A and B are shown apart, each in its own frame.
Chain A
Amino acid sequence: MITVDLNCVDIRELNQRLHDLNGDDGRNPWRIVGTDGRHSIAVGLNAPLTVVVEGHVGYYCAGMNQHADVTVNGHAGPGLAENMMSGTVRVTGNASQGAGASAHGGLLVIEGDASSRCGISLKGGDIVVGGSVGHMSAFMAQAGRLVVCGDASAGLGDSIYEAELYVAGSVGGLGADCVEKDVTDDHRRRLAELLCRAGIDADPGSFRRFGSARTLYNFHVDHAGAY
């Protein structure tokens, strides 16, 4: 275990050290302390590293992550794991707005709640939220899955494309072109696999599934009021 105290080492040096590693160097897990809500912690990682962040983080923690497994033992600010490509990012607390924004791949796990616009512009990969998500989550989500074990606020899946949304609790309202869809055995099986991988204890049978009605895919005068 390599420990870096951000009270002694600045963000620039931390990220550069992490960027300079390759897969072999990354066998030793990294432990980052002294976070104090600092921004851009462990962004742009591009190797199969294991990074454990002790404490709360600010904006964009683990942004654009590739290959690395990052765990935040605390809460996360806006843009957690934005545009992540692969690997795993886990937050044991809550996440602020825009968690997993435009993520293309990988697995983002938020054990607590996520604020508004969780999974906005999602392009792939999976987001699993142990608690609830705020309004406009999965706005314009294109691909991938957002799983919410608690409730979803208003505007869920507004203008959604091909992403799949699962919610176990209540839904405060669906956004434009987002509709409830059937849950097949295959959906439940794949959801169970995802929940297992995320380490979240929830009954796959308790989830409802939402996705695109695909009525807004082409401009049409009769749909003008939907926008």
Chain B
Amino acid sequence: MAEPSDPGVLRESATFPPETIAEIQRAASEGLYDIRGWGAKRRLPTFDDLLLLGASLSRYPLEGYRERCDTNVTLGTRFAKQPIELKIPVTIAGMSFGSLSANAKEALGLAATEMGTSTTTGDGGMTDEERVASKTLVYQVLPSRYGLNPDDLRRADAIEIVVGQGAKPGGGGMLLGLKVSDRVADMRTLPAGIDQRSASRHPDWTGPDDLTIKIRELREITDWQKPIYVKMAATRVQYDVQLAVKAGADVIVLDGMQGGTGATQDVFIEHVGIPTLPAVRQASDTLQELGMHRKVQLVVSGGIRSGADVAKALALGADAVSIGVAALIALNCNRPLYLEDYAALGTAPGYCHHCQTGRCPVGVTTQDPELEARLEPKAAARRVRNYLSTMVLEAQTLARACGKSHMLNLEPEDLVALTPEAAAMARVPLAGTNWIPGLEASD
């Protein structure tokens, strides 16, 4: 009699693989969509599908350890009286206190400050700890308006109007009751313990013409001092970038579908939006067509992991990148500690996306004092600083190899693609050819 382990005995369905079967049975049992944290887990075209062309005879490199490759970037030069000066082109993305613990927010602020970059508030407002820890703090204005107040607008260094988020374009946020502690509830003017829903549209404006007026109002309130970013999920990028420029944005933040979240429907995370790779090229091309490239700065986020990702994003036209999940991983997210607590969540290090539960084993995405204490802010900040520093060193190494004395001198011509799909999306040639799918061949 054949055993299940014999080859050919067990045949997996391509249409109904085990994870699909499990999800159908979970839905049948619970009657509600799956809600989870993190970003898209499906395989997508990424910056790994691109390669940089190092120098050779046709280009000469910079000396790796002797010649400068600058990394500074200025954001908000269009209208703001006080643009943001960053030492590195990697920023910390908006993540809420509520979704993250206060210790995690403080650690991110400390790390960003040490590295000369910015960090960003999130849904729920600004905490004093975060303001103190962050030399440069971007203050988000979200549809929920939780905790929004003019005093914090004035003490922020920049303002980010959030239209959308890569993990859930067109959707509002949520924070499940386990994480709505007394302090979180108080900041958001909500009853503690409820499953908090956030609106998907702003309460006082809808279309781009309204946004134009809204931006001017925020400028008036802050006496035109602060740069105003507009953050959008990557969907109809060409149109959205045009409209954001027309509306008067100083900076456009574009979040691809790999962008993370603290809690959203899995179906949303995996099936809405476009990847970061095509989004960045489409955005930078649109800015070029408008004559606004480098005048309205472009910050891209969503699945940025390494210096290679940074270099490639900048080569495609971004002015800076922003990291969220990667920063949390540097804090300790998914580190193999407290294994029994991962097991209690039904997961394991390397696979955990259970931010929504508030039971984060490593104290990053929790409001439980006992769990939060597992994340010591100064030590955690050191890890994030090390990680940011590594990313920048990697990106500089690649830029020097391409002969660039500044990170922003990287350009699409420095790139080739490994797949026709990536070539079409990034509009760079397939490696070893002059072929850019969708464009006429040049030979």
A: residues with CB less than 8 A from B are: 11-12, 15-16, 19, 39-40, 43-44, 46, 58-60, 63-64, 66, 78-79, 82-83, 85, 98, 101-102, 104, 117, 120-121, 123-124, 139-140, 142-143, 159, 161-162, 217-219, 221, 224
Residues of B within 8 A of A60 (CB): 204, 213-214, 217
- Tell me how far the C-beta of B139 lies from the nearest C-beta in chain A, rounded to whole angstroms: 13
Contact of A64 with B189 in the complex, beta carbons under 8 Å: no
The total number of A-B Cβ pairs within 8 Å is: 105
For A41, the closest partner residue in chain B by CB is: B220
Contact of A78 among B149, B153, B204, B220 (CB under 8 A): B204
Contact of B203 with A101 in the complex, beta carbons under 8 Å: yes
Q: Is B345 an interface residue (CB 8 A)?
A: no
Known: A12-B220, A104-B149. A98 touches B204 (CB 8 A): yes
- Tell me how far the C-beta of A136 lies from the nearest C-beta in chain B, rounded to whole angstroms: 10
Q: Is B32 an interface residue (CB 8 A)?
A: yes
Question: How many Å lie between the Cα of A96 and that of B204 in the bound state?
Answer: 10
Q: A102-B203, A218-B193 are in contact. List 7 more A-B contacts (CB 8 A).
A: A39-B213, A83-B149, A85-B149, A121-B144, A161-B190, A217-B195, A218-B195
Question: How many Å lie between the Cα of A137 and that of B307 in the bound state?
Answer: 49
Contact of A85 among B150, B176, B191, B203 (CB under 8 A): B150
Chain B 165-179 interface mask (CB, 8 Å, partner A; 1/0)? 000000000001100
Contact of B216 with A39 in the complex, beta carbons under 8 Å: yes
For A98, the closest partner residue in chain B by CB is: B204
For B143, the closest partner residue in chain A by CB is: A121
Question: How many Å lie between the Cα of A135 and that of B368 in the bound state?
Answer: 40
Residues of B within 8 A of A44 (CB): 150, 220-222
Contact of A83 with B189 in the complex, beta carbons under 8 Å: no
Residues of B within 8 A of A19 (CB): 223
- Tell me how far the C-beta of A196 lies from the nearest C-beta in chain B, rounded to whole angstroms: 26
- Tell me how far the C-beta of A15 lies from the nearest C-beta in chain B, rounded to whole angstroms: 5
Contact of B190 with A142 in the complex, beta carbons under 8 Å: yes
Contact of B203 with A120 in the complex, beta carbons under 8 Å: yes
- Tell me how far the C-beta of B371 lies from the nearest C-beta in chain A, rounded to whole angstroms: 21
Can you list 22 A-B contacts (CB < 8 A)? A12-B224, A40-B220, A43-B217, A59-B217, A64-B153, A79-B204, A82-B203, A82-B204, A101-B204, A102-B203, A104-B149, A117-B203, A121-B199, A123-B145, A123-B189, A124-B189, A140-B199, A142-B189, A161-B194, A162-B190, A221-B30, A224-B32
